[in-house]
Every structure is written in structure tokens, then in C-alpha cells.
Amino acid sequence: MSLKMAPGRRDLTNDEREAILRETLLKSNGSYASRLPKGFGPYLASKYQCNVSCIRKILARAKDQGVATGNTQVSVANKKKGKVGRKHAFTAAEVKAKLLQVPLANRTTLRSISAHTVLLPLLHVGYCFRRLSKFAQPPLDTSRRDGSSIHPSLYVHSFRQSLSATLAVYEKHVASLEQEVLAKTDSSNLFPFARLLVDFQGELELFPFLCRLVDHIERKKLRGKGVLEMLQSHDRSGYPRVQACVQSYLCNAHRVFFRQMMSWMTAAHVVDPYGEFFITSPSSSSEYAVDLARVPLRYFPSEFAEDVLFIGNAIKILGNNSQHHQAICSCLHSLASHRTWSTHVVRDELAKLRVTIASALGTRVVLQGEFIQWLARVKAFYLLGHGDFFHAVIDQASPVFANAPTIRSEQELNHGVWSVFQLDASSILRLQFQFHSVQDGACHITTRLFVYNDGSNDAPSLHDTCTHLKTAGSISVVVDYAADISGWRVHMNDRLCFEYSMNVLKQVDGLARRKGGMFVGLVLLPPITLVSWSCGRVAADEDPWQYVGLDMPVPWPVAPLLLTPATLVTYNHVFQLLFRLKRVQFALNRTWKLSRHHSQSCAILRHRVLFALSHVFVYFERDVVDVHFHECVAACAKSSDFDVVKKAHDTFVAQLAKRCYLYSATVMHAIDALIALGWDYCHHEPPHATRDATYLASTLRHLCAVLANTDAHPLVLVLDFNGFFSHG
């Protein structure tokens, strides 16, 4: 019995389709558009061995392209590309002949398909084993093919050790299976491949996952916190074998983590040869700090790192104590013994440990270090608690304050009445602007523009230039700064001697005007005599002594833990504000002798200015400093816990800055205007009573309005209790 294939329809070639169109045009003489001549369609179909409908479709395509209207650029080509038409239908004999042409080794059977399905996963396990074994071995050469170097890591080394243990178990498993296979001597009892899938089911799940982890470590170059966060992210995997493996790896990595914590918390020493631990020490400072870039913040909160830093710093102060060391070691050993990570357990253990260390540190610093006594000294000096002492200082130093600051001004202040009343605090007055003197004559003048960051020892110089000037008397120095050109120009005797491009606004960006943490100055070397100076942004008669500061060396351990440099800066800002108010009050009180010769309006003006300044000063001293100081001392006296004492002191400092409006530019501008009015009254003989009274009224109205729009209602109540200044 033979099969017969029916011939299929033939696709016309492009030439045949063009020939059909030409014959139609010649036969019909252009009238085919409506209807073909009778019998002409079947004639073309039989001639070209196609269907009549194919002829009609060709002519319809030509008609759509405008052949009836004279367009000869038409295309009736076949739209099919490449091999077109129906597939060739092979006969049974042809199919058998082609099958016999396939080599016997390449023929697939049902048995070969099943064996191939079993072997592919097993071969993948072998590939993964080779990949993991290569990573588990520490590299002898630390350079990569791209030229970069491989950075060693304790945590990657821990991962390699855990991986080596996993591969060792796999090798023992393979050896036992090999021994079992070789023990089968009966040729009929063959070892089935299907059993291998069952025996290596764990490796089939685990090894590809470990390969992905290894690829991630190498591609991202993970170290330290990166390895910890990667393992922690897979700690809750849905596969039990994978989850158990990840927990084991993470537990081993945490042992390294806890040992680094133990070295810091017991000996205040960081064992971190490759820069992975979150406790770091800057090269320019011996103080340790927390580097958040190294903290695994995905599951280890930053407050945990702060607790670890605090305990290490406390141990440095407390010294070697076996009880503290035992408590720290037992806590960390307990955490390391947990197979799974629990944030709540770690938080509770560190909190208990911190309470123990904080109590001992509080006894050492607060009681033995006499913190409350030092806090009283801070109030006496920085907060002008000894009012009679500062009154005597201002009285004796009046000749110094009458002139512009010079290089000897600081020595004159510190070796005058200040040294007579100097207590154990060893505090000294400090000037932030000093000017030197030199005789007239030819000299080299060096101008240096720098930005000085208060609180640090370095003063980075941004630009230096040297100019030779022949002086024959005075030198006129003009400093020109324009924000549009972002630069400085210094003119001396109408001669440009200094020009530097720097945008100071960007250099001090983010610092408020009253923070005082950044100063921009111009240094003239060798020193010249400063006759007068002014700044275009402020009044020419602004007090040059308004930045007089105070330095008070505080002994260890009170200084680094409680009276920190940042805290002393805030105290210094309060001192500058109170000292300015104290000086202008003293100056106004001394003018009463001269005011006897003035008019009654001048005396009333002096009284009102002094009244406003005195009430502002009394509010700061009585309602802010005294109230919050007694609260802080009471809180510190009731507890020996360091955390409680530090919190109380930080609250006290924050209340000083807030209630004194140190960093509120609007309020400080209004107080500055009031202080400037007081100095204006003292410096002018006689004062302009009418003009100054009008200015005083507007200044006080502005001050009361500003204070009313803030939370300074107590100060408004003290200053304007009867509405005289705001409505007078």
C-alpha cells in the first residue's frame, strides 16, 4: 500500500505576476478596471497554473496603486519572504531513509533521555563543587586580572572557613557512596542513577545557592558589614537546608564580630587589621568614634554601636576591673552562643551591660571627679555667676577696652585683675582678633586669607601673597568682597595687592551667623598699627571686643565625657552674650556723672536704655541660667548613673542655647541693636536725645514684636510688663 501526496497550490513568482499584469493591460486596453473580458480570467489561470482568484487579487493590487489613472510604477510582487509555500510532505520511504542516515551514537531513546535528565543536575553539582573549592582556598596572589588588588577580610575568611567545612562534609558523602558502589560485585545489581538524585538532594539545593553568594561577594567586593548583611538577608530562607547553612555561616561571622567588640569593650583596643570594625580612630585624633558606614544597619541599629563605643570609653576611664571584664565577656559569650540572631536579645543584654558600666562610671566621674563642683565653676565663670568679680574685671580693664585690640591686649587682661581672682579653674580670657604694631617705614606686607574653624587647632590657609610697599605714614587697606564674582580683593593705598577667588558663602554654608564656629579674617604681616577699621556689612562703631571669649581647662575625665569641646563652645557663646550685656550696663552706669550736665531728655533716654538692657540681662541670669542650673544640679545629685547625669547636663546646655536665643538670628539682631544703642549713648557727648529716643522706641518695639512671635513670652513679660515699650 503506497501513499499519494496531493499537489499543493503553487506560489507565483514575481516575474509571473508581472507577466499576468502586462497581458491583462494588453488584452483589455485599460477597460479591465470594471470587468475582465469574458473567459480571459480562466485562460490566465490555466496558463500560469493558478486560481482565478489569484489573478483577480493581482489586478486589484495594481488598481489600488493607480494603474487605471496612468501610474505605471506599481508593484504586484509576492509579499512572502524567503522560503514560501507549504512544507514539503515527505513520504514514508523518505522518512525511513533519513532516519537511517543518523549515526547510532547520536540516536536518542527513552532510556537515554532519562539518564540524561539524571546526569545534568549531578554534573551541575560537580561544577559548583569546583567553583566553591576554588573560592574556599585563600588566594596566594592578591592581584586580579584587571590590575586591582584583593583586599583581605576577616569576615570573608570566616565565610571561607565555613564553606570549607561544608565541602568537607560533601567529600565524605561522595567517598561513602563510592565505597558502596565498589562493594557491589554482582553485575546484575547495578547502582541506579536515580538514587544519586536522592543522595545528593541536599547538595542540589545548597550548592547553587552558595555559588550565587560567592559570585555576589566577588562581584560587589564585599567586606565587613557587607558580608554580615548579605548573610542576614538570607537568614529566613524557605528551604530548611539553606536556612540552616546560612545560620551556621552567620553564627561564625558573628563570632568574629563579637570578638572585635570584646577587644574594644574590655581593653579599649580595636583589633581591626583590615578596617572593617565600626569603631575607628581618626589619624588626626586619638578619640574613637562610630563609623556608620561600617555598621550593619540592616539588623544592627546604630544605638547598639553607640552602646559599644560608650562601654569601651568607660573602661578606659575605669581601668582594669575583673568584675567588669567578667560581665562583658559573659554577655558576649552568651550572645555568640545563640545560633540565630535576635535583635531584642542583643538590645536587652547590651542595655543591662550599659547600666552596670554607667553606674560605675557615674561614681568615678560624678562623685570622684567632682563634676558638680566643676559645673558650679562653669556657672561662676562662663555664665557670670560671680557678678561682683566680673564687675571688678570690667572696672579694672576699662582702659584696655577703651582702645582697639592689640597683640598685648590678651596679656593685659589675663595678667591684670583676672589673675588676682583666678581660681582653681585656671580660666583665661581669649581674643579672637589680634593686631600687631610696627614702626612706619618700608616694609613687606603679606596678606593671608584663611578660614579658621573654631574648636580645632588648624587654621587652613587658602591663599598667600606678598606685596612691597613704601609707607610714609598710614596705610589704607580696603578689603572688597563681592558675591557675584566670588572673590576677594585687597587694596592698599589704592593699589591692588591681593586677589583670590573663593566663595565664602559656600565655605561656611550651613553655619548660622550667631554660632561663631567659623571666622573669616585678613592677616597683615609684618604687623601694622591699626588706627581704625570698619566693615561694610555692619556699623563702623561696632564694639571690637564683642568676641572676647573664655578658656577654662577641665581635667580628665570630666572634660572628654561631660564637659566636651562642643559643650564648652556653647558655654563660650553664652559668656560672650552675657559679657557684652554686662559691659554695656557698666558703661551706662558710669555715665551718670556726665549725664548730670545733660538735659532731662538725655537722662530719661539713658534710664530707658539701661532699664531694657538690665531686664534682658536679669532674665538670662535669673530665669534661664539659675533655674535650669538648679534643676541640673538636683538631677545630678540624685543619681550616680552616668547616662542620667549626661542627659541632665545635655538638657541644661540645650535649654541655655534655646532660652538665650543664641542661634536665633532674628532675636539676636534685635538684641544687638539694643546693645549698639547703649554704646552709642556712651560714645557720643552729648547724645542726640531726640533722635536716639525715636530709635530706641522703634528698636524696643521691634524687639518685643520679635519676642512675641517666638516662645520668649517670659522675656516679653519681664521687659514690657505694662506695654510701655510696645504701645508707648
Supply the pLDDT for residue 521: 53
Select the highest-mean-pLDDT range: 361-370, 438-447, 457-466.
Answer: 361-370
Mean pLDDT score, 584-601:
73
| Domain definitions of the chain by residue range | 1-80, 243-368, 380-412+420-427+555-727, 436-529
More confident residue, 167 or 481: 167
Q: Once rounded to an integer, what is the mean pLDDT over residues 468-474?
A: 51
| Opening angle at CA 318, ends 314 and 321, nearest 5 | 115
Residue 14: what pLDDT? 84
Is 377 within 8 Å of 423 (Cβ atoms)?
yes
- Percent pLDDT > 90 in the chain is 20
Taking residues 97-108, what's their average pLDDT?
80
CATH C-level class of 380-412+420-427+555-727: mainly alpha
Residues 425/550, Cβ–Cβ less than 8 Å: no
* Structure-block grid coordinates of residue 489: 580683593
pLDDT at 479: 60
Map grid coordinates 537515554 to a residue.
Answer: 112
The per-residue pLDDT for 284 is: 52
Residue 457, pLDDT score = 39
The share of the chain scoring above pLDDT 70, in percent, equals 69
Better pLDDT: 499 or 64: 64
pLDDT for 461 equals 37
Burial 623-648 (b: 16+ CB within 10 A, else e): ebbeebbeebbebbeebbbbbbbbeb
The pair phi, psi for residue 668, each rounded to 5°, is -70, -35
Q: Is 211 exposed, middle or buried (0-12, 13-18, 19+ CB in 10 A)?
A: middle
**Helix pair 240-267, 201-220: axis angle to 10 deg:** 50
Using alpha carbons, select from 683, 633, 71 the residue that is nearest to residue 377.
633
When mean pLDDT is compared across 192-201, 264-273, 404-413, 694-703, the lowest value belongs to 404-413
pLDDT in tens, 652-675: 999 999 888 888 887 888 888 888
pLDDT tens digit sequence for 168-199: 999 999 999 888 888 776 665 666 777 888 88
Which of 508, 516, 576, 588 is CA-nearest to residue 546? 576
Q: How far is it, in rounded angstroms, from Cα 262 to Cα 267?
A: 8
Which pLDDT band, with edges at 50, 70 and 90, does 485 fall under?
very low
pLDDT tens per residue, range 24-37: 887 776 555 566 77
Q: In the chain, count H helices and then E strands.
A: 29, 10
Give the closest residue to 710 by CA, choosing from 645, 649, 648, 665: 665
- The pLDDT, as a whole number, for residue 700 is 74
- H or E element, residue 33: none
pLDDT bin (cut points 50, 70, 90) of residue 245 is: very high
Residue 440 pLDDT: 38
| Residue 131 pLDDT > 90 | yes
Highest mean pLDDT: which range of 30-39, 488-497, 697-706 = 697-706
Mean pLDDT of the chain, nearest integer: 75
pLDDT at 87 over 60: yes
The phi, psi pair for 473, rounded to 5°, reads: 140, -110
Q: Name the pLDDT band for 478 (thresholds 50, 70, 90).
A: low
Averaged over 316-335, what is the pLDDT? 87
**pLDDT at 426 > cutoff 60:** no
> What's the longest Cα–Cα distance across the chain?
146
What was the pLDDT predicted at 210?
95
CA distance 325 to 327: 5
Grid cell for residue 480:
572688597
pLDDT of res. 722: 66
Q: What is the pLDDT of residue 448?
A: 40
Average pLDDT over residues 487-504: 60
Q: Which amino acid is at 286?
A: S
Highest mean pLDDT among 149-153, 470-474, 571-575: 571-575
Asked if residue 445 has pLDDT above 70, the reply is no
- pLDDT category, 518, cuts 50, 70, 90? very low
Cell of 89: 510532505
Greater pLDDT, 184 or 522: 184
Q: Angle, to 10 degrees, between the axis of helix 565-590 and the axis of helix 600-618? A: 160
CA distance 546 to 447: 24
Which one has a higher pLDDT value, 711 or 300? 300
> Does the pLDDT value for residue 261 go beyond 60?
yes
Cα distances from 94 to residues 97, 138, 367, in angstroms, run 5, 61, 106
pTM of the entire structure? Answer: 0.59
Of the two residues 506 and 307, the one the predictor is more confident about is 307
Q: Average pLDDT for residues 554-565, to the nearest whole number? A: 79
pLDDT for 352: 92
Per-residue pLDDT band at 492 (split at 50, 70, 90) = low
